[in-house]
Structure formats: structure tokens, C-alpha cells
Structure 1
Amino acid sequence: MSTNKTHILIVEDEAPLVELLRYNLERAGYRVSAAGDGEAAMRAIDEDRPDLVLLDWMLPLMSGIEVCRQLRRAPGTANIPIILLTARGEEHDRVRGLDAGADDYVSKPFSPAELIARIRAVLRRIRPALADEVLSYADLTMDLVQHRVTRQGKPVHLGPTEFRLLRHFMEHPGRVFTREQLLDSVWGRDVYIEARTVDVHIRRLRVALNVEGQPDLIRTVRAAGYALDAQGG
């Protein structure tokens, strides 16, 4: 099929969830197809190769893990990005999914906004040519080309470090990062900076984002670190 839109295949047997995902993904500008079981997914991928697969763990006929393994074994599909969707939240299950070849892992229930942000992050990392040049989360938008951030359509003025910090959060929404992880990712491993410096820049980022009293999108997790989370806190 000839189209410039990034094609996402949803492999999920719960029809209401498929329709919810389809609605939100099409609104975000993606072309969407769906398969209700593992065998149908393999046929669909043969007929119309997707750019990314959203793959439920628990499927009829063939499990999501087995679909993932088969895709990774075949040269023609080995590089298709895969995000596993599952109610399994324990660490050993996440490890199994990643070991089978998944690129990311989203536990149910999840928000469509978080899932779309994860999709964009995976595409940016694995298939850069397909990646959007605009990141979105909740009411935040970041234009990576024009180096602009808006919230509810109004400009947000950030310094270079706060911009990089926010970009990192928007590429990994909902994930908690320690100060040390943020230092490595945002400042670089070869730069020696006190971990408390992160707190200063988080504070500046919060002030810039919440200039009109909007809900705080940066969640502080005591004794752990920080996350971008629409629930705030």
C-alpha cells in the first residue's frame, strides 16, 4: 500500500482496546491495521510490512512472545520495532519480553498519550527516518527542529539544559530516573557535576512549565528520582 504515513500493526484480541488504540493512533497521524491473534499477525506482516508492531503478550493461537521470537529470527522482519502490551508487570516478565526481542514494554492499563510517546521514542531510536520531529505529552509539545516548547499552545521559555532535560523526559514518559541517570543522559558521562545540580535544573524546569499555575508534570519520587507524569506530584 502506497502511503507516507508510518504504519503501525496492533496485535490484540480485545476488540474495545483495538478500537481505542486505532482511534488515538490515527489521530496522531499513523496508519493503523490490526490482527486478533498471533497467526493472523504473521500473515498480516507478510502482506503489508508495518513500521512498528504493538504486540499483546497474551494472544490466541500463538503468544506474543512467540510472535516476537519468530519476527526476530526472520531476516525480513528482524528489524521491525516491537512494543509489548501486557498486564504482566513483574520484573522477570519484562526481562523475558525484552530477551525475546521486544524494544519496549508497556504495562496495562496505560494512557494513550504515554503509549504514543513511547512509540515515538522507539521509532526515533531504532528507525530515525520514521521519527516525528515533534514530541507531545499531555498538553506539552516540543518541536525539535525549531527548538521550541509550548504548553496549551503558549510558548515555554527554557534554557539549553532544561530543554535537553525535558526532551529526555518526553522521550521516556512515566519512567523514573535517578539523578545519576539524568546526569549521564543529559550532561554526559564524561562531565563531573554534583548530583544535586539536577535538582536545580528540575526546579527551573518546573518554574518554566508551571508559569500559569498549570498542574505539575514533573513527579518527584522520594529516594528515587524524577519522572514526567501527567498525574504530577
Structure 2
Amino acid sequence: MDASSHSPLPLSTTAPPRRELWRGMVDALPVMAGFVPFALVLGAQATQKGMPALAVSLMTGLNFGGGSEFAAVALWTSPPHLLLIVAMTLLVNSRHLLMGAILAPYLQRLPKRRVLPALFFMCDESWAMGLADARRRGVFSLRYYMGVSLALYLTWIVSTAVGALVGPLIGDIEAWGLHMAFPAVFLVLLRGMWKGLGAARPWLVSLVVAAATHLLVPGAWYVAAGAVSGLVAAWFWAKQS
């Protein structure tokens, strides 16, 4: 997405706070439904890899980034290689730098006590829905965004905890195909934000590089390769524009 091609929208200050929060939560319901099976898979995989259920809840509650959490679970050993997991988490979550930069014009006039929670609860889906709502209505509603974010956060935490508790009892949860629910929801969100091939070029570079690395290099290096190549491509095209 090209942040420079869109002027910052004003903040919504007139709508009743509870109404905006509720509107965000209601709009988040389809995404929440997609979160549940994906979160169950993550929780179940984590405990099947030997991660304690409490550690699963702490990880999802403090990090709130599904991609990096799946990467951490894939790399989990006993004892865990903490530096490797931290490095991979930073790489996977590096996309939040660009997402936060796009949100910055809408949040820069707010005090830090409101900005920091908004950024902490930011995920791909709440970010996309908040911006899509702003463009549709011509005003950015922080309360709507927080309604979406809090609904998704609570759904994710509770569902991963349930998955961690029941995972050892149900065997290979991937055999049920539930892990495809989250990618399907994300693709729908991307379709709604599609602005042409030009804006999608960094995503395509990341996809191609990650797929090639996955086929050619053993281990989880494809995650790092995809993240870094996407950021470099985004920077390169931003410099050209």
C-alpha cells in the first residue's frame, strides 16, 4: 500500500464512543470466526511441541502476531533456542513498521496514552479494517479501530488457550484443515484493499522469495527471506516514486 498517495484523514470525534466501539466489534465478527480455528491450531501445535499452556497464553497475549507465533512454535525445542526465536519474531513482525507508519498521520495528534495501546493491539486485520473504514467514511475512527482490535485480541487469546488445553487430547489438528481459515480471511481483506499491481509488488516479491527459499533451503529461513525481501522491495519502489 502506498501511504504517500493518500492524504491523512481527520479523526472522528463526534460519534458516541460506545456506538463506535460496538460498530467495530460487530464488523469484526466474520474475522473473529476465522480467528478461532486458526488459533486452535496454534495452541494445539504449541502444546504438542512441548510448550506449557501458560507459556502459550503469555506468548499470544504479549506478542499478538499470529505469523511470528507460528514461527516460534515451529522453532520450539527443549530447551528452546531463544535468540533464534526472538530474531525470527522480529523479522516476521517487521511488517508492523510499515503498518505503523501508515497509521502515524492519523494518530500523531493524540496523546501517547491513547497511541501506544492502539499500536499494541494492532494486527493485520484490525489495521486493514480501520483504514478501509476510514476511506469509506472519510474519517478515521480510533474507537472503531479499537473495537475491532479488542474483539480480535480477546478472540485470539481465548482460542489459543483453548487449543493449548485440548491439543494433547485431539491428536493432529492440522488433519482437519482448520489452518486454512486464517489465510482465507486474510485474502478476503487483501481483496478489499487491492489498489492495483503496483502497490502489491513488494508482497509479490516477498511471496516469490519465500517460496523459492522454502524449496531450496532447509529450515525456517524462508520466513526471514520473505520478510527482508518484501521490506527491501517496498523501500526500493518508495524511493522510485
User: Considering the TM-score relative to the shorter chain, is it more than 0.5?
Assistant: no
Higher strand share: 1
Higher helix share: 2
Q: Structure 1-normalised TM-score?
A: 0.24
